[in-house]
Amino acid sequence: MSSKKFSWKKLLLTIVWMVTGTVAIVLLVAAAKNQNGKLCKDVRVNIKGVDGTAYISKQQILKTISGGRPDLMQGQLIKTFDLQQLEELLETNLWIRNAELFFDNNDVLHVDITEREPVARVFRENGESFYIDDMGEQLPITNDQVARVPVFTSYPNETTAARVKDSTLQQQVKEMGSYILKNDFWMAQVDQVNISNYEFELMPKLGNHVILFGNGETVAAKFNRLYLFYKQVMQKTGWNYYSTLDVRYNKQLVAVRRDSVSLFKTFAVEQNSVKINTTIDSSLIRNDSTQTIEKPIIKENTNTLFTSKTNQGEPTVEPVLKSAPVKPQTQSPNTLKNQLPTPSTGNKVQGDKKQVNKSTIQSKTKPVSEEENVLNEAKKQPVKKQPKAVMKKKDG
């Protein structure tokens, strides 16, 4: 008896499942027939971009799925749309990460697009440019929108994914770009990142220094050391006190101080804007390499002991020398003493004038001095040689 009851229950379950399956199939076929007979009433495109920024337009999407005629999509039979094929066609666009198409109960076609997220803009050495997304893939430049992302320059011209260092460099650019993009301080401070021999150099917007970053490993730790140095040191010394900050070494930051010449470069005075005229005694420049470039000034000695014009003393010569700006040289008193002229052994002439070094610094816009007027007058007059005075011997 128990076996017969068990057989009836099994038969009833089988019949129920067969009826349910048959009804489901009939309903699906009827729905499919009804759906195929409907027309497309509208097309709605939804683009999910980063922060609401769309790098591809809705017009591009509609042209892609309609074959260039988006105005003909409304009114077409729904059964003519191959949704899977249209999704694959849209995903051939490098800026589209995912595409989903479906019809709702109101016979409206929905096109949901998920864009890729750029994290860096890269410029090659030859000037070509492209984006790198958060997956490390290259994206072409679009005319619809410009991404506000970190800029990397001097990227190698010829790179292949097969080469390990090229693929590693592209991933490191992605990592560094993502970190800078998520940090407001570094996004405002880093102007651009130069690539030199597969290593990074940061050019800051504030401060006249270069940051040697090294490779793209341990990005967060390097930026943390740099931020602490900014906060604890450079706020006290100033943003231009150091010329180089090096964070390439593990747990270290090496700061190179700017030399004094570069630090005070803005206070330097150009020597070409100043004209220096120097008048010195010829006996002090016996061993000097300075050459006389002006004619000497001829002065007659009026304080001689002889009253006769034919027996006047020999005229003295004072050369006027023009020299370029010379750095001052420190000399010992003994050296200066040895350079003084030795007194003559002959008769001393009363009233001889002592010649003193005179140096005057005149600006180019300063009027002509009296000394230059005398020099110009002396050039115009011919030089007359006077006979030397001869002293008569006294009778014994």
The structural domains of the chain, ordered by start, are 42-115 (3.10.20.310), 118-263 (3.40.50), 271-324+354-380 (no CATH)
* Mean of pLDDT values over 157-186: 88
∠ CA 4-5-7, nearest 5°, is: 65
Q: What is the mean pLDDT of the chain?
A: 73
Among candidate residues 120, 177, 126, the one with its CA nearest the CA of residue 155:
126
- Please give the pLDDT value at position 338: 46
Which band of pLDDT confidence, cut at 50, 70 and 90, is reported for residue 337?
very low
Is the model's pLDDT at 7 over the cut of 80? no
CA distances from 274 to 194, 322, 326, 365 (A): 42, 12, 12, 10
* Mean of pLDDT values over 171-185: 95
- Please give the pLDDT value at position 268: 38
- Please give the pLDDT value at position 288: 42
Is the model's pLDDT at 353 over the cut of 60? no
pLDDT tens column, 208-240: 999 999 999 999 999 999 999 999 999 888 888
∠ CA 266-268-271, nearest 5°, is: 140
- Please give the pLDDT value at position 304: 39
Q: Write the DSSP string, 272-301.
A: GGEEEEEE--GGGGTT--PPP-SPPEEE--
According to DSSP, residue 36 is labeled: H
Q: Which stretch of 80-84, 92-96, 335-339 has the lowest confidence by average pLDDT? A: 335-339
- Please give the pLDDT value at position 218: 94
According to DSSP, residue 146 is labeled: -
Q: Which stretch of 11-20, 159-168, 196-205 has the lowest confidence by average pLDDT? A: 159-168
Q: The whole model's pTM is what?
A: 0.57
The top-scoring range by mean pLDDT among 107-121, 322-336, 377-391 is 107-121
User: Which amino acid makes up residue 24?
Assistant: A
Beta bridge partners of 113: 47, 99
Task: Dig out the tokens for 119 from the structure.
Answer: 């994290």
**Positive/negative CA dihedral, 368, 374, 379, 380:** positive
Is the model's pLDDT at 6 over the cut of 80? no
Task: Dig out the tokens for 68 from the structure.
Answer: 């260039």
